[in-house]
Amino acid sequence: MLNLKAFLYIVVTYEWKECGSEAMNQRAKVQLVLESRIDGRKEVHRYKGEWFRKEKSIYIRYAEGEGNQALLRYTPGELSLKRSGGVSSEQLFVPGQSRVGSYTTPQAAFQLETTTTSLVVKRDAGETAELPGSLPFDLEWRYKLKVGGQIAGNFHICLHIQEES
């Protein structure tokens, strides 16, 4: 007869081996190219960071410079952006909805409001994906931003994520 302790060991070991190999492939050092268009004006920034997948979300963590860190979390239909360091901010992007966030520096604090019109994940050849399990892919979103109740602009962001070479 199998005792409870041995049974739990077998189950936990089996689950760990089944999930462990997948989890090992679900993390990578990445190169990011962030292309932003603000009312037609284009800016491009390059970062190095880390991509990882946890359950039904993907995360992208990177340093923006001057001690600021950014963490993106994508779950199908929702994208959140949190910054910490000299600047602290939170923004949430949900297609077809307006969401309230914040932006805080040592000098001032503002309420942010995003009205998101689109949020898509694109794989190679432009095909869309719900939740990418591998690299490379693009996250692309469009939104209108209000800062302190005043319209700040219309944004189109494309973030290209690929494994660091």
Distance CA 164, CA 109 (A): 35
Judge whether residue 2 has pLDDT over 60.
Answer: no
- Closest Cα partner for 47 from 26, 75, 68? 68
Q: Determine the length of the chain.
A: 165
What confidence category does residue 102 fall into, taking pLDDT thresholds of 50, 70 and 90?
very high
Whether 19 maps to a domain, the answer reads no
Whether 7 maps to a domain, the answer reads no
Whether 126 maps to a domain, the answer reads yes
pLDDT of residue 53: 94
pLDDT of residue 75: 97
Whether 45 maps to a domain, the answer reads yes
pLDDT of residue 23: 43
- Provide the sign of the torsion angle of the four alpha carbons 95, 100, 103, 104, taken in this order: negative
Answer with the residue of higher pLDDT: 25 or 14. Answer: 25
Whether 82 maps to a domain, the answer reads yes
The domain containing residue 37 runs over which residues? 28-163
- Number of domains present in the structure of the chain: 1
Distance CA 142, CA 123 (A): 18
pLDDT of residue 21: 38
Q: CATH number for the domain including 72? A: 2.40.128.20
- Does residue 16 sit in helix, strand or coil? helix
What confidence category does residue 126 fall into, taking pLDDT thresholds of 50, 70 and 90?
low
What confidence category does residue 9 fall into, taking pLDDT thresholds of 50, 70 and 90?
very low
Distance CA 163, CA 50 (A): 9
Work out the percent of the chain whose per-residue pLDDT is above 90.
73
pLDDT (tens digit per residue) in 33-76: 999 999 989 999 999 999 999 999 999 999 998 889 999 999 99
Whether 124 maps to a domain, the answer reads yes
Whether 108 maps to a domain, the answer reads yes
Judge whether residue 77 has pLDDT over 70.
Answer: yes
How many Å from the N-terminal Cα to the C-terminal Cα in the chain?
A: 53
Whether 15 maps to a domain, the answer reads no
